[in-house]
Amino acid sequence: MRHPDVPESLDSWWILHRMFTLNRRAWDKLAHDERAELVREATAQFKKLKDHADTDIGFAQLLGHKADFMLTHYSKSYDGLAYAQTVTDKLGLFDYLTPTTSYVSILELGLYDATAKIHAALAERQLKPHSTEWNEGFDELLKEQEKVPHHAGRLWARIPQRRYVCFYPMDKKRGEDVNWYMLPFQDRARLMLEHGKIGRTFHGLVTQVISGSIGFDNYEWGVDLYADDPAVFKKLIYEMRFDEASAKYGDFGDFYSGVQFSLDQLEVFLEGESVPALNVLQPARA
């Protein structure tokens, strides 16, 4: 039975973020031929994950002390994430990478507005809430949301190919005095509508991927931001801090930011003589 205060969502890609430190001094001590062989092995396995229709993988050099390297795995199944983790852990390269943290989630499109409209449409049909007919009607109307062009284009988009990336997890506060989940549905829907308006003012400047992690990790959502200018992250997040949904109810975890690079730049990243490039630019989803 659906709780009337719970907004529905459309879910698609399973997502696994993995952060590592790289022991560059140990890597540099390896003979050139040995380093080259480890790069070839890793590139071959990563290419299989990137080229497969049911998976994708992204690479980023992170800045700061928390981690040096981030792998972002997409999979159409939860088991696919487990496979990607196992395949990468077996690589010889991983003798020189130490995991620092990870994050498990599933790409999510929140449907506050659509959920309210579905409830209203079922009320017009005079269906008893949570009856068999009501549930069937709800499922039918929810399924229609997957066909909305805006939704369909976002659900199964692959990892955005933009130069800079920022990832962070977040919660909605649920304390004794300030509790997002005790607000009436209409109030939460209004706040999320206002919150979304800020994001839309950055249309074309940033690509946002929201993933749900309730039951999968320590926070409730993961947020990925992709842009062609890293300063956009500061401007967007700072402006959103003044929005009530964030200012009063938002609780944020650690932020990770860095530069995305192409798979063919893996050796450049490992050798450390220059910053790896993002060579294959595809049209970004804004």
- Give the catalytic positions in this structure: 168
Q: What whole-number distance in Å separates Cα of residue 54 and Cα of residue 158?
A: 10
Q: What whole-number distance in Å separates Cα of residue 74 and Cα of residue 60?
A: 14
What tokens does 184 get?
């009436």
DSSP single-letter state for residue 148? S
Please check whether residue 261 is in contact with residue 269, taking contact to mean a CB–CB distance below 8 angstroms. Answer: yes
Chain centroid to CA 193: how far? 20
Q: What is the largest CA-CA distance in the chain?
A: 75
What tokens does 12 get?
């698609």
Q: What whole-number distance in Å separates Cα of residue 221 and Cα of residue 210?
A: 7
What tokens does 19 get?
């952060």
User: Which one, of 66, 83, 87, 64, lies nearest residue 75 by Cα?
Assistant: 83
What is the bridge-based pairing of β-strands 55-62 and 8-22? unpaired
Q: Which residues contact 26 (CB under 8 A, 6 or more apart)?
A: 96
Q: What whole-number distance in Å separates Cα of residue 115 and Cα of residue 263?
A: 40
Rounded to 10°, the helix 185-200/112-124 angle is 130
Question: What pairs with residue 206 in β-bridges?
Answer: 227
